[in-house]
A and B are shown apart, each in its own frame.
Chain A
Amino acid sequence: MTGNMHLGVEEPIRECQYNQICTHNSSPMDTPHTKKKKIKRKWQVFPGRNKFYCNGRIMMAKQTGVFYLTMVLILVTSGLFFAFDCPFLASNLTPAIPAIGGVLFVFVMGMLLRASFSDPGVLPRATPEEAADIERQIDATNGPSGPGYRPPPRTREVVINGQTVKLKYCFTCKIFRPPRASHCSLCDNCVERFDHHCPWVGNCVGRRNYRFFYLFILSLSFLTIFIFAFVITHVILRSNRTGFLSALKDSPASVLEVVVCFFSVWSIVGLSGFHTYLISSNQTTNEDIKGSWSSKRGKGNYNPYSYGNLITNCCAALCGPLPPSLIDRRGFVQPDTPQPAAQTNGTGACPSNQVQSHMAATNPLLHSQTIILGGGAPLQAKTSLGGPCSTLGPSQPSLPSSIPGLSCGGELMALRDSEIHCHHHLHHQHFISPEETPSPPAALPCATHLGHHVHPAQLFDPASQDSLHEDSVRGLVKLSSV
């Protein structure tokens, strides 16, 4: 949450106002006519699909409905716990219980807000001169193509700690993506060390907020187990005195809390375990799904980013230095600098929109599913607090980072790898589906399976053509897992 610190200019007060970013028309050219030469801050002309609040201090994804659902669930469950169960427990057992519960709750909310509101590590788009320079270099390296010689796709190879890593060129941002970076089609940004896009947190999870995300799910696991255990204790103690049914009648909130906690604990604890594994091996969800560093790809395949030591990996991920935000949200737009790559957002958005309608046409379940995630049906929410996040994370066979050549074989391997890696998450998906009602909520896990199994052909065709289609495929895949 760091802005540009040395700008002390106060602009007319507009505190905590929500300003939707107009992604197609935002350019400083328009502003002098409409805004009477008002100097704009950089977040107001940001080319990605993000929402900004509090004058650029808070940054979130465009769809935040599910985030509010997360907040409501946590606040309501914890509130009921403190209001109805804690008085009994404090007087009959120990006042340490509400105290510890309070600390856990504050920690959970703090981490959630930090993960949701910070910049995940968005890479700013290239300035026009940079983009031109890269184009020149690409043309120079490709050289004249002879007969039968297909110019290589826009990739650069680099050897990191003995492993060859391919850096891909991002058509939207007009940069060669650093290693481990990936383009999020939902937010239309390249994000450093991209893990996944989490709708429950309402933001991408990347280099700058991964530790907050991990601490959030970890502390939420503890909080859920804590509440579950002590609500059960409360009911048992009461029913020892007055009988089970009257105990339930005396504290009806306990029933709701137990149900919410019971159904969330599996997903959240599972997700915490998965991310603990990722941290200890220094991989991102992306890399794990695609099996980038798995030994199945080849004998000499290993993770070049791992420090070799489990403890060092954990410490580096959680206690390493926190890099600053690269996008300077609260800085002022210099009137003479041209805005980088703002126009391409239109072209970047178009394939995604086409993909969206294509997907909606071919898979009506997905269409209803996107409505669910936007609106938040309470039934679905109760049973799968962490569910979609667990399905989202692992089940994105996100093509964004470094699939060389986009050949059909490569695609197949990526999808197959994603199936393999989803096996240990299937228990989340399979758990969710029987619990949910057969109507729309079931579309959530079903659609993710469909994304994997049913549409490989449809995924291959657009992807085999051109890297621009790769962006749309990415959007397709992301939509299927959302």
Chain B
Amino acid sequence: MISAPRTATDRTKLPYCHESFHNLQELRHSASLANKVFIQRDYTDGTVCKFQTKFPSELDSRIERTLFEDTVKTLNNYYAEAEKIGGQSYLEGCLACLTVYLIFLCIETRYEKVLKKISRYIQEQNEKVYAPRGLLITDPIERGMRVIEISVYEDRGSSGSSSGSSTTSSSGR
């Protein structure tokens, strides 16, 4: 089983690396969806939003464990920041209560700001780390904050180009 390209030099041998995936839709169109892996929530700390960092076996050949864990840990940190109960959230809550919550028509809540940061982070991770490996992360907010959905793609158009990539995708099955 040939593992995913580990160095940048190896990755340049991938057929679509030079396209740099500004539009991640290209991945969806040029590759076929093979599988979806779901990272479930970790409830051991209560109802706060936290995802399991356990590395799923289906991604064993697709991505390095450390990269995956870094992504999930960063996401967990973002969610913890959003749900943090402290001075700022109290201030926001009291101010909102005094204005009969009308203030939220004008300003964003802190949670919403952090969610925007999260979606930018996921977009960036997809472009830099996951799409070159034929993976795509779906923002958990689109799945009700229940799972991190990772779509695993097999590339269709890899017949002529480097054999490494096509065997990478097919060997994962």
Contact with B along A191-204 (1 / 0, CB 8 A): 01100000000000
The reply on A160 being an interface residue by CB < 8 A is yes
Contacts of B73 in A (CB 8 A): none
State whether A130 touches B147 (Cβ < 8 A): yes
A-B contact count (CB 8 A): 100
Interface size grouping (class) on chain B = 35 or more
Knowing A319-B89, A319-B94, A321-B83, the reply to whether A123 touches B46 (Cβ < 8 A) is no
Tell me if A324 and B143 are in contact (CB < 8 A).
no
Taking the complex as formed, is B144 at the interface, i.e. its CB lies under 8 A from any CB of chain A?
A: yes
Contact B143 A127 (CB under 8 A): yes
Cβ-closest chain A residue relative to B115: A324
Task: Give the docked Cα–Cα distance between A228 and B115 (Å).
Answer: 46
Kindly state whether residue A437 has any CB partner on chain B within 8 Å.
Answer: no
| A119-141 interface with B by 8 A CB criterion | 123-124, 126-127, 129-130, 133
> A-facing mask of B79-121, CB < 8 A → 1, else 0?
0001111000110111011001110100001111001000000
- When C-beta atoms are compared, the residue in chain A nearest to B105 turns out to be A1
CB within 8 Å of B: which A130-171 residues: 130, 133, 158-161, 165, 167
Q: Name the one of B38, B82, B90 contacting A319, with C-beta atoms under 8 angstroms.
A: B90
- Contact of A175 with B100 in the complex, beta carbons under 8 Å: no
Nearest chain B residue, comparing its CB with the CB of A327? B144
Residues of A within 8 A of B144 (CB): 123-124, 175, 326-327
Once bound together, how far apart are the Cα atoms of A41 and B129, in whole Å?
33
Smallest beta-carbon distance B63→chain A, Å: 19
For B44, the chain A residues whose CB sits under 8 A away are 158-160
Query: B47 and A180: CB pair below 8 A?
Result: yes
B38, chain A: closest CB distance, angstroms: 5
A468 at the interface (CB under 8 A from B): no
Binary contact readout B44-83 vs A (1 if CB under 8 angstroms, 0 otherwise): 1111000000000000000000000000000000000011
Most A CB contacts (10 A, CB to CB) among B83, B100, B110 go to B100
The verdict on A351 contacting chain B, using a C-beta distance below 8 Å, is no
Residue numbers in A under 8 Å from B115 (CB-CB): 324
**In the complex, which residues of chain B have a beta carbon less than 8 angstroms from the beta carbon of A5?**
112
Q: How far is the CB of B45 from chain A (nearest CB, A)?
A: 7
Please determine whether A158 and B83 come into contact, CB atoms closer than 8 angstroms.
no
B-side contacts of A342, CB under 8 Å? none
Check A323–B111 contact: CB distance below 8 A: yes
Known contacts A215-B97, A316-B85; is-contact A321 B145 (Cβ 8 Å): no
Of B43, B94, B100, B141, the contact of A178 (CB 8 Å cutoff):
B43
B41 on interface, CB distance cutoff 8 Å: yes
Closest partner residue, chain B, to A110 (CB atom): B100
Closest to A124 in B: B144
Quote the shortest CB–CB distance from B35 to chain A (angstroms): 9
> In residues 18-44 of chain B, which contact A (Cβ within 8 Å)?
36, 38, 41, 43-44
Could you tell me the distance in whole angstroms from the C-beta of A325 to the nearest C-beta in chain B? 10
Q: B132-147: which have CB < 8 Å to A? A: 141-147
Is A320 at the interface (CB under 8 A from chain B)?
yes
Question: In this assembly, does A269 line the interface, its C-beta being within 8 Å of a C-beta of chain B?
Answer: no
Cβ contact of A130, chosen from B82, B94, B146, cutoff 8 A: B146
Alpha-carbon distance A149/B90, docked complex (angstroms): 52
Binary contact track A291-326/B, C-beta < 8 Å → 1, others 0: 000000000000011000000100110111111101
Q: Which residue, A5, A318, A326, A327, has most C-beta atoms of chain B within 10 A?
A: A326
**Distance A468 CA – B35 CA, assembled complex (angstroms):** 30
* CB of A187 closer than 8 Å to a CB of B: no
A124: chain B residues at CB < 8 Å are: 143-144
Residues of A within 8 A of B82 (CB): 321
Residue B127 at the chain A interface, CB threshold 8 Å: no
Q: Which of B85, B100, B104, B147 meets A106, CB within 8 Å?
A: B100
| Closest B residue to A192 using CB positions | B47
Report 15 cross-chain contacts, Cβ distance below 8 Å, ordered by A residue. A114-B100, A129-B36, A130-B146, A160-B43, A160-B46, A161-B46, A165-B43, A178-B47, A192-B47, A318-B93, A319-B89, A321-B93, A321-B109, A324-B115, A326-B145
- Additional A-B contacts beyond A106-B100, A304-B46, A305-B46 (9; CB < 8 A): A107-B100, A129-B36, A130-B38, A130-B146, A158-B44, A178-B41, A319-B93, A320-B85, A324-B141
Sorted nearest first, the 8 A-B pairs with minimum C-beta distance are A319-B93, A110-B100, A124-B144, A326-B144, A319-B90, A158-B43, A129-B36, A321-B89
